[in-house]
Chains A and B, each alone.
Chain A
């Protein structure tokens, strides 16, 4: 059981380049999330998807787009990368077990924009 799988694990981009971060979960979870982690800032929510077919902006959505391709997959796209987007990106998924929305995380993607 793989859980939440993110690809790639590391990426270096030049300013202005585009890329898509992939995330897939095999736990049949309804909700999926993208966070970015920066030193001293904790995890900040970029976008989330409460269910297949829906997406909502989080705290820091500017410069990003997302696609909930199906129930398993939730991708994050940077259309024109900027150095300020250098960060570690985490994907997560959750389901209410009973009524507790416990989240499971991928191992992260370390992105550097030069």
Chain B
């Protein structure tokens, strides 16, 4: 069965600092992996997705994530945090074939201070 673990429910950084949000997954087959962002009182927006085409994936707003099969990880990074990055971030996994659902981690709230 597929599952996702996000390490750290809350991460705080200073503006301009590196952002690192951790995600580990479990899947019996090569997975599809996603990072979504949720701003307060809004729905979820796709940041980036891993499709096996490349292990380093670039997304919107300067975020990127690296797929490491040996570590079963898909950590999200951004070199320099902005105040506008403050939000909740969700990692998700699916095995992708018809009939499988998208499974989410519990989320990490990112706070950015000036």
A residues near B, CB below 8 A? 30-31, 33, 35, 40-45, 48, 50-51, 54, 56, 58, 90, 92, 94, 96, 98-108
For the complex, count residues of B whose C-beta is within 8 A of A: 26
Q: A90–B49 Cα gap in the complex (Å)?
A: 20
B residues 44-79 near A (Cβ < 8 Å) are 44-46, 49, 51
Q: A43–B103 Cα gap in the complex (Å)?
A: 8
Q: Nearest Cβ distance between residue B36 and chain A, in whole angstroms?
A: 8
Would you give 15 A-B contacts (Cβ < 8 Å), ordered by A?
A31-B98, A40-B9, A42-B106, A43-B90, A43-B107, A45-B102, A54-B99, A58-B101, A98-B51, A99-B96, A101-B94, A103-B34, A105-B36, A105-B43, A106-B43
Tell me how many residue pairs across A and B have CB atoms closer than 8 Å: 67
Query: Are B101 and A48 within 8 A (Cβ)?
Result: yes
Query: Are A107 and B43 within 8 A (Cβ)?
Result: yes
Query: Are A101 and B96 within 8 A (Cβ)?
Result: yes
Q: A45–B90 Cα gap in the complex (Å)?
A: 14
Closest 5 CB pairs of A and B: A42-B106, A105-B43, A43-B104, A105-B44, A50-B99
Query: Are A92 and B107 within 8 A (Cβ)?
Result: no
Query: Are A102 and B101 within 8 A (Cβ)?
Result: no
Q: A30–B45 Cα gap in the complex (Å)?
A: 19
Q: Tell me, yes or no, whether B84 is within 8 Å of chain A by CB.
A: no
Query: Are A33 and B102 within 8 A (Cβ)?
Result: yes
Q: Nearest Cβ distance between residue B71 and chain A, in whole angstroms?
A: 21
Q: A60–B94 Cα gap in the complex (Å)?
A: 18
Query: Are B32 and A100 within 8 A (Cβ)?
Result: yes
Query: Are A101 and B102 within 8 A (Cβ)?
Result: yes
Query: Are B43 and A45 within 8 A (Cβ)?
Result: no
Q: Nearest Cβ distance between residue A114 and chain B, in whole angstroms?
A: 21
B107, closest chain A residue (CB): A42
Contacts of A92 in B (CB 8 A): 44, 102
